[in-house]
Amino acid sequence: MTDQAAGRAEQYRILLVEDDDGDALLVEELLYDTGLPHTLTRCHTAAEARTMLATRPVDCILLDLHLPDASGVQTVQAIQPDTQAAIIVLTGLDEPHAGVEALAAGAQDYLIKGKVEPDLMQRAVRYAVQRKQAERANAALQIGRLRAEENARLERGLLPEPLLSSTAVTASSRYYPGRAQALLGGDFLDVVQTDDGQVHAVIGDVSGHGPDAAALGVCLRIAWRALTLGGHRDQHLLHLLEQIHIAERTGSDLFTTCTLITLDPVRATLTLHLAGHHEPLLVTPDGVQEVTAAHGIALGIAPGLGKWPATTLALPARGALIAYTDGLIEGFADSVDDTRLGVEGLLRIVDAIRTPDSGTHLDQLIARTRTLNADRHTDDLAVLRLDWNTGPERRA
């Protein structure tokens, strides 16, 4: 770094809040004598300082404790909410405890008028700014830790471990929030296998983002698992889920799209119920295609009036079903233009991936869609892949 660049980097933006012209002149001369690269702005009252700080950020505030509209610790409390700057209070010789009280109120340092030399002023400004920066960094780190802990708790609720007793069917899943360091959204999925050998799966998407959508997604996912293990199926199950959705949602505008999947290895059938959700993809040795299935409306759109017809397909001896939320296909298909990926673009990507490992396949699929999207579309995405091998060679 050149000396000129270093000088720019060390330029301190200082605000002096002082109503006494004589004291203000002394501070101005003292700052000049420090040799500290700075710009100085002066305000006479706390109100004037708040107005200025709303449009002009500063690095350090030199704050007199006796202003026309604030006095003592109140001056710090009046200024602090409007700024991220370091605050150094200026106290008088007859105020032995005022500086300590100001530190307790959130100031970074205090100086006693009439007892400040240029070297002390320079160190005070530099150290106060550094301390404030460290405080902000620590606060951001703490927020990041809390967000990560919350994400981990929500993720355990949204994306549980599959309950599969047969090795003939395996499940792989992935989830990505739409924005860096974002809270999880309302995408959820689950897989269970019941005593009759059938594999049941759900993937869903609560409209909206953030903790409310995530909490509702967790509620619906847990309810689906309990109801499915309790023997509830198909349209009846969706009616129950809709009742739970309505009872638990925080606003009448929230709705949920989902797909119910029932894979029966014994009867070699695959049954789908779509509630406002798009069709999954069927992957076989012959290629990949979108399943043609009947549609029903999303949960919560017309409570009590929904109809969700079943679509039953013959199950190939070997293959995979990929179900996903719309965050996977609503991104852009090119890093330059605004064409959406869509189902056709997704089919091309899936068909081009040749890895036999299902988890690696999902990783490469998501990586390619996110690369094409270049972070321009920010919806959450969840993907569930069910693989089966029920052919004679597997049973042998």
Q: What length is written for the chain?
A: 396
In the chain, the percentage of residues whose pLDDT exceeds 70 is 88
pLDDT tens for each residue of 14-53: 999 999 999 999 999 999 999 999 999 999 999 999 999 9
The answer on pLDDT for 70 being more than 50 is yes
Model pLDDT, residue 184? 63
Range with the poorest average pLDDT among 87-101, 193-207, 224-238, 274-288: 87-101
Model pLDDT, residue 106? 87
Model pLDDT, residue 97? 82
Range with the poorest average pLDDT among 82-91, 130-139, 310-319: 130-139
Instruction: Compare 138 and 352 and report the one with higher pLDDT.
Output: 352
Model pLDDT, residue 374? 77
CA 109 → CA 18, 103, 184, distances in Å?
A: 17, 6, 40
pLDDT tens for each residue of 321-340: 999 999 899 888 876 677 88
pLDDT tens for each residue of 140-160: 777 667 665 655 555 555 667
Band of residue 81 on the pLDDT scale cut at 50, 70, 90? confident
Model pLDDT, residue 154? 55
Band of residue 178 on the pLDDT scale cut at 50, 70, 90? low
Model pLDDT, residue 58? 94
The answer on pLDDT for 96 being more than 80 is no
Model pLDDT, residue 395? 43
The answer on pLDDT for 2 being more than 70 is no
Instruction: Compare 347 and 338 and report the one with higher pLDDT.
Output: 347
Model pLDDT, residue 161? 83
The answer on pLDDT for 320 being more than 50 is yes
The answer on pLDDT for 4 being more than 60 is no
The answer on pLDDT for 394 being more than 60 is no
pLDDT tens for each residue of 253-285: 899 999 999 999 999 999 999 999 999 999 999
The answer on pLDDT for 303 being more than 60 is yes
Band of residue 213 on the pLDDT scale cut at 50, 70, 90? confident
Handedness of CA 343, 345, 351, 354 (dihedral sign): negative
CA distance 201 to 39: 63
